[in-house]
Amino acid sequence: MSDYPKDLHPESLMMSYGYKPELSEGALKCPIFQTSTFTFKSAEEGKAFFEVAYGLRVKEPNEELGLIYSRLNNPDLEILENRLTLWDKAEECAVFESGMSAITTLLLEFLNPGDYVVYSAPVYGGTDHFINHILPRFGIKPIGFRAGSTKEEIEARIEKEKAAGKVGLIYAETPANPTNALVDIAVLREIADSLSTDEKPVYVVIDNTYMGPLWSHPLELGADFVIYSATKYIGGHSDVIAGACLGSKELIGRIKGLRTFLGNMAGPWTGWLLMRSLETLKTRMEAQAINAAQVADFLRNHPKITKIHYLGFIDKEHPQYDIYKRQYSCAGAMLAFEIKGGEAEAFKFLNSLKLIKLAVSLGSTESLVQHPKTMTHADVDPADKEVIGITDSLVRLSVGVENAQDLIWDIDQALNKV
Ligand SMILES: Cc1ncc(COP(=O)(O)O)c(C=O)c1O
C-alpha cells in the first residue's frame, strides 16, 4: 500500500490498493478467500495473533494483525475496508453484512442506558424503528429534530428533554431519505462539542448513503463517523446487502470489537463483490447524476408534478442552499416528487412504469421507484411523516445508468395514465 504516491485519486487505486499478488500465486485479482479459518505456522504465532486481536497487548510498530478466523478478519474484508477508506479519507473502516448492522452496532457500542440519542428526521425507516422502538428497551431515549432545523431549534429540543449531560451521540442522515432535506454537519459538531466532557464525549454520526462516497466527505466536515448502506451506490448492482462505517482508528477499533462478538461482519463473497463494484463506483455515479439532472428538468415542468425534491433545484435564497454548497459537490442521483392527487394517483403512476422497476433500494445501475409513505417509511410515526414531508402523493426515484431519454419516455407515458 505504501508504494503509491499520496496524491493518486481513489478511482486509480480501486483496482489494486491493499492487495499483494505475490501472496495469492500472482493472481491479478484478489481471490475469494472462502475459508472460515486460517492455519498458524506455529502455536507461538497463533498466541501472538490472539493477543493483538483481543487487545491483550498493542501491536508492535511493524507487526501485521495475522489472519485468525473469518469472523475476526479475512483478506477480502480487510482489503475492501482499506479501499473504502480512500474516498472518505478515513483512518479505518469496518464492513458489515448490512447497512442496518453497521448502524445498530455503532449505536450499541457508543450508547449506554440513561443516554439520549439526538437524531434527524427523516431517517431511513429501519434506523427510525431501531432508535424509537428497540433502543428504548435498553433505557436509551430518542430526541428527534427535523432536518433543516437551526442550531437553536436543536438545542431547544435537547433542553426541553433536560438531556444536557446525558446525550450519547448525535445521528443524522443527510441528504435525508426520501426528501433530500439537508442537515448542517458543522452545526452538529458545535452542539456535540458544547455537550462533550472528558468523561463523556458526544460523537457525531452521518449516514451518507443517500449521496454516496464521491461528492461529500462528512469526516472532513466535522463528523466522527460516516455510515453507508453499501447495498446502495457502493454495491450498485442490486445484488448484495452490506454496510460500512468509517472513522478514526481508535473509534472504529471499538466498533470492530463489538462486531467480533455480534458476528455481523461481511463474509468473503460480499467483500469480493463490493471490491468489484468499487472499481466502477465513480463511473456509475457520474452517469447516474447526469441522468438525474435531465429527469429532474423534465419533471420540473410537468403539469402533473406538484413538488420536486432535487438538490439541484434548491433556491439560492433558501438556508438549505448554503448547506448544500458547503457539504456537496454534486446534486446526486436521488429524486422525490409529488404527483397531483394522492395515494391512488401515485400508485397509478408506479403501476404504469415499464422500464423503471418498482422496488425499494437505491443507488443501483437500474432506476428504481417506490412509495415511501407505505413502503420504506411505513413504520414512521404518522404525525412525523406529515411534518417531514412524506405525503400520500410522494414517489421516490433512484436514477440509474440507462439512457436518460428512455427514462423520460417511461415517466412521461406513466404520468399520462394518471
Ligand atoms: C439511508 C439508508 N441508511 C441505511 C439503510 C439500511 O441499509 P441496509 O438495507 O443495507 O441494511 C438504508 C436502506 O435503505 C438507507 O436508505
Peptide bond into 113 cis (omega under 30): no
Residue range 129-157, pLDDT digits in tens: 999 999 999 999 999 999 989 999 999 99
Whether pLDDT at 335 is above 60: yes
pLDDT averaged over the chain? 96
- Order of strands across the sheet that contains 305-309: 305-309, 334-339, 394-398, 368-370, 357-358
Tens of pLDDT, residues 222-276? 999 999 999 999 999 999 999 999 999 999 999 999 999 999 999 999 999 999 9
For ligand 1, pick from 128, 177, 240 the residue to mutate: most ligand atoms within 8 Å of CB.
Answer: 177
- pLDDT tens for 11-32 read 999 999 999 999 999 999 999 9
Ligand 1 closest atom vs CA 103: 4
What pTM, to 2 d.p., does this model score?
0.96
| pLDDT score for 163 | 85
> Ligand 1 centroid to 28 CA: how many Å?
32
Identify the band that residue 172 occupies on the pLDDT scale cut at 50, 70 and 90. very high
Q: CB of 360 within 8 A of CB of 241?
A: no
Task: Give, rounded to a whole angstrom, the gap between the first and last alpha carbons of the chain.
Answer: 55
CA 369 – ligand 1 centroid, Å:
15
**Cell numbers 490472539: residue:** 50
Report the nearest-CA residue for atom 6 of ligand 1. Answer: 99
Provide mean pLDDT across the span 65-77.
Answer: 94
- Which three cell numbers mark 39? 492455519
Q: Give residue 379's pLDDT band: very low, low, confident or very high (50, 70, 90).
A: confident
Task: Report whether pLDDT(64) > 80.
Answer: no
Residues 392/375, Cβ–Cβ less than 8 Å: no
Decide: 13 and 86 in contact? Cβ < 8 Å: yes
